[in-house]
Amino acid sequence: MDSKLYLTISAIILLLYGIGFAAIPADVVALYGVPPQPHVLMTDRFFGSTLLSVGVINWFARDFADWGAVRAVLIGGVVGYGISTVVLIWSTIQGLLNSLAWGSTIVNVLLVLGALYFLFTGSRKPA
């Protein structure tokens, strides 16, 4: 796998989650056992819009020829996915989210590991 495939996969994951949280937040939060209160839905729409923007960044970054630009996107991913992982673990342990959140935690951990792999190996196979 090269960084282009990683960025493509991460973009698709982020776009799917982002569409869900932005367009149908009540349905998505219900899956995680969160009551669909108006302030929660508003926050989830903001969260969804952020996921959409990062997904679009990853989508376009996959075609960057400049390793420095790709590296910046990967570093941002490590920070964002890493913090999300900590928040998901804490929220699940505290009982704020149901056990479905462990699946999202695994997705975040895999995204962190993928970004770290390409940062440490400097992998960018030529097109």
Q: Is the pLDDT of residue 126 over 60?
A: no
Residue 127 lies in a domain: no
Higher pLDDT, 124 or 105: 105
Q: How far apart are CA 9 and CA 59, in angstroms?
A: 9
> Does any domain span residue 71?
yes
Is 67 inside a domain boundary? yes
**pLDDT at position 127, please?**
46
Average pLDDT, the chain: 93
Judge whether 59 lies within some domain.
yes
Residue 51 lies in a domain: yes
Number of separate domains in the chain: 1
Question: For residue 20, is it within any domain?
Answer: yes
Give the pLDDT score at 123.
65
Q: Domain residues for 31?
A: 3-121
Q: Is residue 43 part of a domain?
A: yes
Hey, which bits of 54-113 come out as E strands?
none
Instruction: Give a yes or no: residue 87 inside a domain.
Output: yes
